């Protein structure tokens, strides 16, 4: 596996653990719908949370969360809609970004709740 894939996988594991420690229940990891994917699907306080995890080794090229562009947001919204329909859920839906920097001797996690809103 490529090194960037290892970094991403490690980041997703750290993000899931981080959320669990904050009281979130993890429902799915890497949930796929067609060619789309949600990194983490969780619940907290009657809210379904779709979390996109962005992990980098540094912020030299910008903060990891800045790489969640409009197209990625649209894809996450489609994925969330499908998940809600398939599971017949009646919950508020929130989109979070978990930004992780995994440097040589450091780890920084930034959890951005309500990172973006679906366009209606």
pLDDT tens per residue, range 6-57? 778 899 999 999 999 999 999 999 999 999 999 999 999 999 999 999 988 8
Give dist(CA 68, CA 28) in Å, integer: 20
SS (H, E, C) 1-52: CCHHHHHHHHHHHHHHHHHHHCCCEEEEEEEEECCEEEEEEEEECCEEEEEE
pLDDT of residue 36: 96
Q: In this structure, what are the phi and psi dihedrals at residue 67, rounded to the nearest 5 degrees?
A: -90, 5
Q: Is the pLDDT of residue 107 over 80?
A: yes
pLDDT of residue 3: 56
Domain holding 108, by residue range, is 3-116
Tokens of 99: 């930004």
Overall number of domains in the chain: 1
In CATH, what number is assigned to the domain containing residue 23? 3.40.1350.10
Span 89-110, mean pLDDT?
A: 92
pLDDT of residue 100: 94
Span 62-74, mean pLDDT?
A: 86
């Amino acid at each position: 596996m490529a090194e960037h894939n290892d970094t991403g996988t490690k980041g997703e594991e750290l993000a899931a653990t981080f959320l669990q420690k904050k009281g979130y229940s993890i429902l799915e990891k890497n949930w796929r719908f067609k060619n789309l994917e949600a990194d983490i699907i969780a619940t907290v306080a009657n809210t379904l949370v779709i979390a996109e995890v962005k992990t980098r080794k540094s912020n030299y090229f910008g903060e990891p969360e800045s790489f969640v562009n409009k197209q990625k947001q649209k894809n996450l919204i489609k994925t969330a809609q499908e998940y809600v329909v398939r599971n017949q859920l009646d919950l508020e839906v929130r989109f979070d970004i978990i930004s992780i920097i995994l440097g040589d001797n450091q780890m920084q996690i930034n959890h951005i709740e309500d990172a973006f809103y679906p366009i209606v």
